[in-house]
Amino acid sequence: MDMQTESRLRGLMGLCVRARQAVFGEDGCMKTIRAGDCGVLLLDSGASKATQEKYMGVCRNASAHLELLPEGLLHEATGKPGVAMAVLKGGLADQIRQQLSGEPQGKAAARRMKPMKSANNGGGASVE
């Protein structure tokens, strides 16, 4: 992971915490995944193999997206102890997945790049 991607990811993870879109702790993460509310589960690669396998199995059964992070990044970005963070479904989870996959910013970027068409032929203010 390059420094720019890591920096953006840290910012998004911190924003998730401030926006109350992040769930920590084994019980909370498992409950969120099983309920189908998890947009992405971020798992520290420093977690034990047993813990990694447990989360991978639950995510696979619930069709939840799981990403392994470099060791220590989760704690550094959020200030919370632990090895897993479930991000609730929504825009922040989508942005985190895009950062980790290296994709361009998806549909939102495509929408911004399209020129807007205006039906205001008579002049004056246009509401778009």
Ordered domains of the chain (ranges, CATH)? 3-102 (3.30.1330.30)
Q: What are phi and psi of 120, to 5 degrees?
A: -90, 85
**Tens digits of residue pLDDT in 44-101:** 999 999 999 999 999 999 999 999 999 999 999 998 888 999 999 999 999 999 988 8
- Alpha carbon 85 to chain centroid, angstroms: 10
- Report how far residue 6's alpha carbon sits from residue 99's, in angstroms, rounded to the nearest whole number: 9
Residue 37: is its pLDDT beyond 90?
yes
Residue 128: is its pLDDT beyond 70?
no
